Each structure stands twice: as structure tokens, then as C-alpha cells.
């Protein structure tokens, strides 16, 4: 492998890593209130093509001979876009880990039974379960419901909350009591099952309460959601 091919391979790997971050940002970065397009993948592809042309066509050698300093600058440009994306995703809203929003003692005080919080698939997800877990012998529902919730910055996912909210209104879901118009409540067919979805100061809270033999009262579920919202 030539020196130029080695640089091209390194840039391609760097671009692949940061392209994943850019896709989470929708390929645009909010910088100082201006939406700046990002094209790390295109930049890396262009660099590789120029390097390939340099190897194949002697007339390109002078124009494409950026040297070690030039390669470093190109690597820095590729890496910088990924750093900006990661920064931009959290610049507007500094979110705590989900389970940090409610200590076990506070959760127990709200729901009225012993619970244990555990991390979900990511740090943005949390699951609250009764301890010990007991199942109803007839329905196999848990005696007490499981509460799942997640938090994320609005705009960090492909579907913004405003679009989700419009769809919910079309389906007839009204706002969550105490959360204002930027929210909607879904009540499940099983007794006590419900979902709370709300935007709070740039963060989106999704909380669901599962079915159970002894369901939470609606007031308890909403009190739990309000406690989570205060931490955002």
C-alpha cells in the first residue's frame, strides 16, 4: 500500500465513524443559530478520488500533492464535523441519564410499593419494576405495573416531536393534564395502562405504564411523570 493509499484508508475509517454521528444530526448542525450543512462522507470520497487520480495520472501529482501537513488538515476537517455534531446534539439540552431522574426512594413514595430502577437499552432509557416481582396466577400480569421511560433531546431523532404530536392529535389523543399543549396522553385498553409523551424545555419524555393486577391510579402515574419532568 502506497503512502497516499494509507492516508486514504485512514480518512475513510475516520469518516465512517463520524458519518454515523452526522446521520443522528440529520446531516445538519445548528451552530450559533445557523444551520450549516455537513458532508463528511462526501469530503472523504472526494479525498480518496483525488488520491487515486494522483496515483494514476502524473499530471495530477502537482495539484494533488498536499503533503503531510495537508493530510493532517484534511483529517482534522473530517474529525471536526463529527465533534461538532456530538456537541450540537447536546448543546441545547444537557440531559441527565434517565434513571438519575428518580431515586428508588422517591419512586416508592409515589407508587406506594418497593421498586428497583434499572437501565434500559441505553442510558437514556430506564425501567422501574416492583421488587420482588410477582405475577398473577390467572392473567400472568405482574401484580404491580412496570414503568418504562426514556428522555432525548428534541431533534436528535429522525422524527421531531412536533410531527409526532400532530399525528397524535389526528388520532384523537389529547394533552396530558398538567403538561400543556406540547404533550399527549394515550390510555391503553388494559386497566391502568397508559403512555405520557411530552416535550419539556427542549427534551422529550416518553413514559409508559404497563398493565398489572393492581394498576396505578391515573393520579399516581401522572405524579410520576411530573417528577421526571422536573428533572429535565
Reported confidence tier of residue 23, pLDDT bands at 50, 70, 90: very low
Strands 147-153 and 203-209: antiparallel
111 and 33, same structural domain? no
Interatomic CA distance for residues 180 and 197, integer angstroms? 11
Reported confidence tier of residue 179, pLDDT bands at 50, 70, 90: very high
Is pLDDT of 181 > 70? yes
Reported confidence tier of residue 209, pLDDT bands at 50, 70, 90: very high
Interatomic CA distance for residues 40 and 46, integer angstroms? 10
CATH of the domain at 220: 3.40.1000
- Determine the 3-state secondary structure of 12 from DSSP: helix
Mean pLDDT of the chain: 75
148 and 181, same structural domain? yes
Which of 75, 91, 107 is the C-terminal boundary of a domain? 91
Interatomic CA distance for residues 110 and 2, integer angstroms? 65
Interatomic CA distance for residues 79 and 73, integer angstroms? 10
Whether the CB-CB separation of 143 and 214 falls below 8 Å is answered with: yes
166 and 84, same structural domain? no
pTM of this prediction? 0.61
Is pLDDT of 188 > 80? yes
45 and 106, same structural domain? no
The parent domain of residue 69 ranges over: 3-91
Which of 63, 91, 119 is the C-terminal boundary of a domain? 91
Domain count, the chain: 2
How confident is the model over 159-171, as pLDDT tens digits?
Answer: 999 999 999 999 9
Quickly list DSSP for 89-113: HHHS--PPPGGGGS-HHHHHHHHSS
180 and 75, same structural domain? no
Q: For 32-46, 81-95, 198-212, which range has the lowest pLDDT when averaged over its residues?
A: 32-46
Is pLDDT of 201 > 50? yes
176 and 74, same structural domain? no
| SS3 track for 50-64 | HHHHHHHCHHHHHHH
Amino acid at each position: 500500500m502506497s503512502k497516499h493509499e494509507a492516508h486514504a484508508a485512514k480518512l475513510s475509517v475516520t469518516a465512517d465513524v463520524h458519518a454515523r454521528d452526522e446521520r443522528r444530526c440529520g446531516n445538519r448542525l445548528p451552530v450559533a443559530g445557523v444551520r450549516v450543512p455537513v458532508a463528511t462522507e462526501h469530503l472523504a470520497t472526494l479525498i480518496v478520488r483525488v488520491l487515486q487520480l494522483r496515483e494514476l495520472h502524473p499530471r495530477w501529482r502537482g495539484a494533488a500533492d498536499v503533503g503531510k501537513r495537508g493530510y493532517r488538515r484534511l483529517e482534522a476537517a473530517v474529525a471536526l464535523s463529527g465533534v461538532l455534531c456530538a456537541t450540537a446534539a447536546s448543546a441545547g439540552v444537557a440531559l441527565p441519564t434517565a434513571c438519575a431522574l428518580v431515586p428508588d426512594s422517591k419512586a416508592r413514595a409515589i407508587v406506594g410499593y418497593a421498586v428497583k430502577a434499572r437501565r434500559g437499552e441505553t442510558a437514556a432509557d430506564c425501567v422501574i419494576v416492583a421488587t420482588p416481582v410477582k405475577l398473577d396466577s390467572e392473567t400472568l400480569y405482574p401484580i404491580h405495573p412496570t414503568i418504562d421511560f426514556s428522555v432525548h433531546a428534541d431533534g436528535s431523532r429522525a422524527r421531531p416531536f412536533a410531527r409526532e404530536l400532530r399525528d397524535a392529535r389526528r388520532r384523537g389523543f389529547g394533552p396530558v393534564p398538567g403538561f400543556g399543549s406540547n404533550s399527549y396522553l394515550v390510555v391503553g385498553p388494559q386497566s391502568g395502562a397508559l403512555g405520557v409523551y411530552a416535550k419539556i424545555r427542549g427534551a422529550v419524555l416518553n413514559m409508559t405504564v404497563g398493565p398489572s393486577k393492581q394498576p396505578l391510579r391515573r393520579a399516581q402515574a401522572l405524579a410520576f411523570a411530573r417528577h421526571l419532568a422536573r428533572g429535565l
